[in-house]
Structure 1
Amino acid sequence: MAQRFRISSRVAGALLTAAALCGTAACSADGPSDARSAASQRPDAATVAAVRRAVDKDAALNSLSYRVSGKVPGQGTVEGKASSSLRPRAVDMRMTASGGLKEGEFSVRLLGDAVYLGGGGQAAALLDGKHWLKLAMADAGADAFGGMQRQADQDPAAQASLLRRADDVRKVGEETVDGVRTTRYAGVVDVAELPEERGVAGPPAAGRRAKVIEQYQQLGVGKLHLDLWVGPGDRTVQFRERAKAAQGPLDVTIRILDRGKPVTVQAPPAADTMDLGRKLKERGRQGA
């Protein structure tokens, strides 16, 4: 059992890595020429104001539902859906990865301080027949299991809000996204310079952005290319993030599906869940 558990922990870590990367629209490819074509143009006041209105509205929301799709190094093509709320903190994410090192379907649920990773039959084959792995966010070493703390802290609204801090933000043009008429804006931000900027709005918004910036830095992102599609009512319809991360180029698009609705997340059945923290304590007491 000790050997089996060590193998399970390593594989679970790989599964968690897949979930963490897939959910991050936070990782995304460096240097698209279209993102730099107007870099020398100073943003006009109307463009800056339009972007500010859109990102500020979303930053004030407590919950979002969205679809994520794109390519992530090591994971190949990823796609899925997620719903998240800030107060109380809850996340329900279901992802599929194909064509990469990690393949299959993954589910992530966050409830308070507990993170649950589900890998279906793949997980059951490794976790003594259980389909879910539970990990406490406060556990020392939580980040060793695929960066789940970063995963649980994903915040699409805060990620999109970084566009307002781009020096070259510009209006690209009018486009239709899933039947919705939108205005597309784009810009490039220097992640290394973001923490030094002052004058951000309100401590809560600033704190959320600080977490997002830290996530980018941990991924090795330098220049971050952002595109924002804004629809009726100054609401974000879609945004795309591209960057060169330490593991290679990433390109992820987030399509906002709903906003402001309650998010209900249920913990998986205890009988079908391996509590990693408890298991590690048991092994420690046994001297393994």
Structure 2
Amino acid sequence: MRTSTARRVGTALAAAAALTSLAACSGSDGSQGAAGSGKDQAGAVAGTSPVAALKQVRRTTGGAQSAKVDGTMDMGGVMSMKQSGVIGWADGLSGEMTITYTGGTMGEALKQSGGDGTVKARYFQDAYYANMGDGFASTTGGKPWIRYSYQDMAALGGASGDVMKDQLQNSSPEQGVKALLASGDVKKVGQEDVRGVSATRYSGTVDVAELTAKNSDLDAGQLAAFKEQLALAGVTTQTVDIWVDERDLLVKKAERGEMKTGTFTSTLFYSDYGTQVPRQKPPASDTVDFKELVKQGVTPGGAS
């Protein structure tokens, strides 16, 4: 397979990784306990305790089960992108996103290989599908879609692959709320306007490695390896800000952290909670499995 095709296969992996920004790091319920119900919940949200308020936000947002999402992400010189679509989390992850790379080495690789910088993605409990366009299809017998099994990605990606698999299969907007609850550093900033909606802003600092350890099903060896990779990349903590509307639903989330490749930033907006989620998988006749591409000499990093 041509090197340009290999680059595009590797680029699609970044689209899968980008979805973890929809969830942020998973937070732990830990000793937070469950807030009350009915009037007690309303009183907690209206009160001065950020922790009490966010417990209710977590439940309300998590119970909504689906939403429209759009936003941007930048990873230093590696990748900048924008994304929009619909995700659902009623029974594991589902949804459809359009991801456009606007810069960085990943975006350039995609464009140099004949693409327009855009990947259409569909997410399911067991796999992620990427439509790489007509240029890619011309090298795979007319098949524009690549199927990435989360299990295969985990096996190829080592500890970081296991973490991405864990987050992809459990992604939901409430995870950003959980991250703040587990941070021990959450504070209420005040009221701000988010696209014409009055929202309350909360902010905190999250220890990335610690939150992963608290909330994943990874074993001690996998966690140790992942923490080492974070340290090598220069990532230790990140700030998380969320904005919540009067219905206790998350309407915006922003993250910022430092990496060796530069500053990582992500901003996402959530709307239309309860919207219908596309659930149709691409036809098998239009799909090539990532494992088959690997057998042909293509690696996740884009080498052939």
TM-score tier (shorter): 0.7 to 0.9
Alpha-carbon distance in structure 2 between the residues aligned to 1:166 and 1:195? 12
State the number of aligned residues: 253
Percentage of identical aligned residues = 29
* Greater fraction of residues in helix: 2
- For 1:55, the aligned partner's letter is R
Given candidates 53, 56, 63, the residue that maps to 2:56 is 53
Residue 14 (structure 1) aligns with:
11
- For 1:166, the aligned partner's letter is S
Is the 2:129–2:145 contact (alpha carbons within 8 Å) kept by the matching residues of 1?
A: yes
Residue 175 (structure 1) aligns with:
192
Unaligned residue ranges in structure 2 (runs of 5+): 25-46, 108-116, 298-304
Unaligned residue ranges in structure 1 (runs of 5+): 29-43, 198-205, 284-288
Residue 91 (structure 1) aligns with:
95
Is the 1:160–1:239 contact (alpha carbons within 8 Å) kept by the matching residues of 2?
A: no
Alpha-carbon distance in structure 2 between the residues aligned to 1:128 and 1:88? 32
**1:143 positional shift:** 4.1
Residue 41 (structure 2) aligns with:
none
Alpha-carbon distance in structure 1 between the residues aligned to 2:238 and 2:2? 39
**1:238 positional shift:** 0.7
Residue 69 (structure 1) aligns with:
72
Given candidates 249, 254, 257, the residue that maps to 2:263 is 249
Alpha-carbon distance in structure 1 between the residues aligned to 2:13 and 2:213? 32
- For 2:9, the aligned partner's letter is A
Is the 1:136–1:142 contact (alpha carbons within 8 Å) kept by the matching residues of 2?
A: no
Alpha-carbon distance in structure 1 between the residues aligned to 2:49 and 2:167? 35
Q: TM-score, normalised by structure 2?
A: 0.69
- For 2:210, the aligned partner's letter is E
**1:248 positional shift:** 2.9
Instruction: Map Cα deviations across residues 108-159 of structure 1 (whole Å, 9 max, x no partner).
Output: 2123423211121343254344211123233376544995736733433213
- For 1:50, the aligned partner's letter is A
Given candidates 281, 290, 304, the residue that maps to 1:276 is 290
**1:207 positional shift:** 5.7
Residue 117 (structure 1) aligns with:
130
What is the RMSD of the two structures over their aligned residues, measured on CA atoms? 3.6
**1:227 positional shift:** 0.6
Alpha-carbon distance in structure 2 between the residues aligned to 1:26 and 1:163? 15
5 Å-filtered alignment, 1:185-200, equals 185-194=202-211
Alpha-carbon distance in structure 1 between the residues aligned to 2:258 and 2:296? 41
- For 1:244, the aligned partner's letter is E
Alpha-carbon distance in structure 1 between the residues aligned to 2:290 and 2:92? 23
Is the 1:63–1:85 contact (alpha carbons within 8 Å) kept by the matching residues of 2?
A: yes
Residue 140 (structure 2) aligns with:
127
> SS where residue 209 of structure 2 aligns?
coil
Q: TM-score, normalised by structure 1?
A: 0.72
